[in-house]
Amino acid sequence: MEIDFYKEFSSYSTADLLIIIQEPDKYQPAAIKTAEQLLQQRDITQADREEADQHFAQQADIESTRLARTNMYKEQVASTLEPLVVPNTSVDPAKWFTLFLWSYGFFYAWVLYRVISIQIQLLQCENCKGYPTGWGGVVNAIFLTIVFFCLLKNRRWGWILLMVSTVSTIITGMFQLQVVYKYRNVLPISPLSLIVMNVLPIFIVLFLWRPSIAAVFEVNARVKRRSAWAGIVVGLLYEGVIGWVI
């Protein structure tokens, strides 16, 4: 069905027609031709030209703002990823910390999603009411929320809690690795997979232990040592309780 541009454009203002003929990429050739014909039948005033020019000025401002915002986002992403993209240069420790926060944030979101999913499944399960295991995930999510908040605010307790929990994770992982290796012919879990899972906590501890990162949270050598020992104690106590229960 062909469009009657003449009938449609007849109600357009002169400024609108001026805009159409100056944007040939947005309209069909027939539409441009019709707009030119209608303009020939009208008296184009200075006010009409100024209105059309104002339209293009506004469009230019919108495009300029969009490009500026896009470039700002690109610069922020490039600055955040600088430690990975250009690892051999001297990088501001704050950028390493920002990259770490992004990674921890994704991990926190994943854990939160898993906890919510499990809780929904437990609520829908008639035989699972009062099942205590699901609350462990809730406690873990609450703990991660506190740690993430403290890290965002550069609070010392964020560093301490993360260090203690990570060190304890390494300790428990070592015990789990020993058990899995001992019963490797029975358990379906691969010792190699546990080794890989324990590598990440080690990297986190090494990252937090860096003087430049610890300085962000005003953590001194004494707090470092006490946090590490606290993590070891928590890990050993956890394994002791699990061994006693089992």
Q: Is there a contact between 141 and 111 (Cβ–Cβ < 8 Å)?
A: yes
Whether the per-residue pLDDT at 149 is higher than 50: the answer is: yes
Q: pLDDT tens digits for 185-228? A: 655 556 566 666 677 788 888 888 888 888 888 889 999 999 99
The DSSP-derived string for 31-87 is: HHHHHHHHHHTS---HHHHHHHHHHHHHHHHHHHHHHHHHHHHHHHHHHHTHHHHST
Whether the per-residue pLDDT at 84 is higher than 50: the answer is: no
Question: What does pLDDT average to over the chain?
Answer: 77
- Token couple for 208: 């937090």
State the pLDDT at residue 227. 93
The identity of residue 24, as a single letter, is P
Q: pLDDT tens digits for 14-47? A: 888 888 888 888 888 888 888 888 888 888 889 8
pLDDT band for position 71 (cuts 50, 70, 90): confident
**Structure pTM?**
0.53
Average pLDDT for residues 94-113, to the nearest whole number? 73
- Token couple for 91: 């990088």
Average pLDDT for residues 51-67, to the nearest whole number? 87
Whether the per-residue pLDDT at 230 is higher than 90: the answer is: yes
Q: Is there a contact between 157 and 221 (Cβ–Cβ < 8 Å)?
A: no
Whether the per-residue pLDDT at 97 is higher than 80: the answer is: no
